[in-house]
Amino acid sequence: MITNLTKIFQGDGGIHGQVLQNNGFQGTSLGLTAYAPVGDVNIFQDTSKPVSKAITSSLNVEVPDGVTNYVGFANTGYNGIPVTGATYNCSFWMMGNYSGTINLQLVGSHSGSVYADHNLTVKSTDSKFTEFKTRFNTTYTPKGDNEWHLTFDGSKVAGSSLNFGLIQLFPPTFKGRENGLRDDIATFLDEVNPAFLRFPGGNNIEGLQVDSRWKWNTTIGPVVERPGRESDWFYPNTDALGLDEYLWWCEDMNMAPLLAVWSGKSYGDILSGPDLEPFVEDTMNEMEYLFGDPSTHYGKLRAQNGRKDPWKVDLIEIGNEDDLTGGCETYPDRFNQLYKAIHDKYPHITIIASHGNYSCLPSPLPKDVIIDLHLYRAPDDFVKLFDQFDNQPRNQSVMVGEFGCRNTTAERGVSWPYMQGSCSEAVYMIGMERNSDIVKMATYAPLIQHFGFDNWTVRISIRESVKATLGI
């Protein structure tokens, strides 16, 4: 089984364990999405009180004069919050003069049933943000229509306000990792025995603009120091699932990491030649973070972030779909710039080109480079591609980095798979399997996504599709 992570809410709101939405007010489009007042209060996003240099705003909870009961705010998660009956970890940052009890609850949004009720004592000042952490037990409910409440004694704040930021709520995580994956989803995936993970995705790495590309060095370290960004899929990425978390994920599931690096192409601009050189240097800094001894600058940073030994990464992809969106003409030169820098210093790494369009590849292509094909087709078209690899040159290795049959009977696609699409994919996969001398890897896309936030047809029966896929 091979995995690909790139589309709608697969990380945030999906396999990443943190279940509160818009918890750091990252991105440009969400506003107060997922938040609601609890009791007689006014709430607003407050840019005048940033939690950190990265988390640049917080939630202001304004309490009118005369309030005497507990008040606060709710977060509804990603169309609700799962309540599993397990012990949850919760944290939040707080600013404002308050000494007393904070009450945390998990509550049915419509039923009003309480599935967790926990008090903790805090002391907060108006001079700086303070982080508070706690754990509490929950009572299982099969219903997902739940929300998280934080309330406090309104009589102590009446006529004033408190600020809260970077709220986090984690059900149990896979392998007990801090800031880890949701155990229920990750355990299922682990049982499929995946062979590799391609990350941080395809489009996810490019950026709508150069500055909103996936920046490896803003996805490491404490989450409060990660700014996040607006993603290519028009919702914010918190980047709480960052470089190290991806690599721990690979190690915990015994998968080979396939790391993509930015190749100079965003949807807003394309950089090449001398303009690309600073970003080549940035890629080499990332390589030092992965492989460098703790005596090096970035190797020391990796050790400080909890990983003393070098990461084992043998596969690097240069860019994503660089034959598209205006990238074709400059990709050969951009590829060669990055290939030379990486290969000269780390010759053990296998390099992958981001497409298979030979008119947009270096000629000749360096030996042992793998080309990456992405195919989304209607059922009949996949069946016609059954013999795609039968007569291809046997000296050119291929990765089918993304493939999937899309059901386009609805304008934005439909969430549920259908038999015709699954059968057509199986036919295509048999063609890959019988040419496994050149087809080295394949990955279905998207791997997972969150219903209610999706715009892509995804096959649910992963276990069956796995039988025809290829390992490294």
Judging by beta carbons within 10 Å of its beta carbon (0-12, 13-18, 19+), is residue 68 exposed, middle or buried? exposed
Interval 78-106: pLDDT, tens: 999 999 999 999 999 999 999 999 999 99
Report how far residue 140's alpha carbon sits from residue 128's, in angstroms, rounded to the nearest whole number: 37
Closest CA to 334 of 362, 371, 364, 365: 362
Residue that wins the pLDDT comparison between 399 and 413 = 399
If pLDDT is split at 50, 70 and 90, which confidence band does 332 have? very high
In whole angstroms, what is the distance from residue 78 CA to residue 206 CA?
A: 25
Q: 229-268 b/e with 16+ CB inside 10 Å = b? A: bbbbbebbbbbbbbbbbbbbbbebbebbbbbbbbbbbbbe
Q: Residues 198-202: what's their mean pLDDT?
A: 90
Average pLDDT (126-149) is: 97
pLDDT, average across residues 48-65: 98
pLDDT at residue 446 in the model: 76
Whole-model pTM?
0.93
pLDDT band at residue 232 using 50, 70 and 90 as cut-offs: confident
pLDDT tens-digit readout, 248-284 = 999 999 999 999 999 999 999 999 999 999 999 999 9
One-letter amino acid identity for 66? G
Q: Taking residues 454-471, what's their average pLDDT?
A: 41
Q: Amino acid identity of 39? A: G
Question: Apex CA 374: angle with CA 371 and CA 376, to 5°?
Answer: 160
Residue 37: is its pLDDT beyond 50? yes
CB 227 within 8 A of CB 344: no
pLDDT of res. 457 = 57
| Whether 156 contacts 102, CB under 8 Å | no
Please determine, for residue 356, whether its predicted confidence score (pLDDT) is greater than 60. Answer: yes
Query: What's the rounded mean pLDDT across residues 303-315?
Result: 98
94 compared with 448, residue with greater pLDDT: 94
Other beta carbons within 10 angstroms of residue 5's beta carbon come to: 24
Mean pLDDT for the chain?
92
Residues 334, 62: Cα–Cα separation, whole Å: 52
Residue with tokens 């099969």: 142
| Residue 289 to residue 309: CA distance in whole angstroms | 11
